[in-house]
Amino acid sequence: MKKTLVTALLFSFIGMNIAPAFAVTNTQTPPKTFKSMIKKSKKQKSDDYKYAYVNVDWWKNFNDSNLTDYINRAIKNNYDLKMATLAVEEYYQMTRLQLANELPTIGTGFSPAYAKTPGTTHWDWTFALPAYVNYEADIFLKNRDKTRASKKKYLASQYDERAAYIAIAGAVGTTYLNIVRLDKIIDLQEKIVSVRQDIYKLMLLSNNEGLISTADTIKANKSLIAGQIELTEYKKQREKLLHALAVLIGESPDSINDLAITPYENINFTGAIPEEIASDIIVQRPDFLKAETMVEKAGIDVRVARKEFLPTINLTGVALFNSKEFGSLFSTKGMLAALAAGAMLPIFTGGARIANLKIKKIEYERILQDYYKTNLTAIQEVNDALVSVKRDKEKLASTIEQSELEKSDYRYTSEKYNQGIISRLDLIQVQENLLTIDKLVAQQNIECMVDYIGLYKAVGSKL
């Protein structure tokens, strides 16, 4: 009886949680700094795979060191990409967590006690060392399938990470090229505003001499003001794009004055753009691979749901070493051990297992349909990108031809002006037309380069 009471007392100590209570005052003051809770190991994982994600060599076709530098800085510093990488690590740890369910659980403890038992007049020390082993015999491979499903989610998170890197690289490139475009357009627009100011001044003089009507002067003034408004809008767009570029590379928008932008004239894309894309490249897109992986996971989930109808078999081992003297704790005299096995099969669960199986089948069909849709969407995006490249290049060629005609017209007009055949007003009006067509050439040239980036994203950076 004495041993039984002591044993019960020791087990009560083992299961007891003792923790101090503290009063916490809420100061409503946010912390000034935040620190990561993830301990950085001395061996850092190489980031080479991230550069492979974005295909850095392709970006070198723009022959712009500033653009390449911003791509590299985004890979290292962009916060969306850091979150995508952390999500991969999270799913990896979830896979390890699920893998632990396939392994046995082993635990032990130590409990000293100083107690006075009924029927005695003195206090005695007692020492106990309990230990247990529990293992779910996975003879139906249910836990193994759960681990396989978890690994599929981990693989899908890697495809999400790759898609994020491609998207951010594309956003950096598009934003940067649009800044280059606006730099050129702002320069041309300032010249157009200057020309319109000259036109307005000349019309005022002509109006004072009675050569033109006041209505024509007002139209010239309206054109000048419209050009000034357009110039202000371009400058606003440029500043906003600089803010966006700074955030994309992980820097403060206050640092936009430190961002180096290559002049428009120095941008020269020398890469080869294919006219057709093979289907095996399309199936390498990260969204396609993720959709395929999720279909495989959904199939495993259905298999697991079926296995929920099978019994669960557990093996349990328990050992207890109990002694009044610490030195003889591990003697067989005070040892108690047991080994048990059991199988549990729910008989009635209110239809929960049947409903769960049907849900998993429905999820499988839904994910399968999403896979089919992803396949079609991938083909559409690639075809759209190819059409944009082809048609915009044709449009640019026509605009360049028109620009050459405007330049010829301006040369002939300049000759007429030098010969005194036409007025300076006629000359600068032709000059404005030339500046306007130059704006259109710059706009469409950058649009073609942005189309190349669109094709780059559509094929998952595999250009």
In tens, the pLDDT along 184-233 reads 999 999 999 999 999 999 999 888 888 888 898 999 999 999 999 999 99
From CA 217, how far away is CA 211, in angstroms rounded?
11
Model pLDDT, residue 7: 45
Domains of the chain, start order: 2-9+70-458 (1.20.1600.10)
Q: Give the model confidence (pLDDT) of 273-317 as tens digits.
A: 998 888 888 899 999 999 999 999 999 999 999 999 999 999 898
Q: Give the model confidence (pLDDT) of 111-162 as tens digits.
A: 777 777 676 777 777 777 788 899 889 899 999 999 999 999 999 999 999 9
Percent of all residues in the chain with a pLDDT value above 70, rounded to a whole number: 86
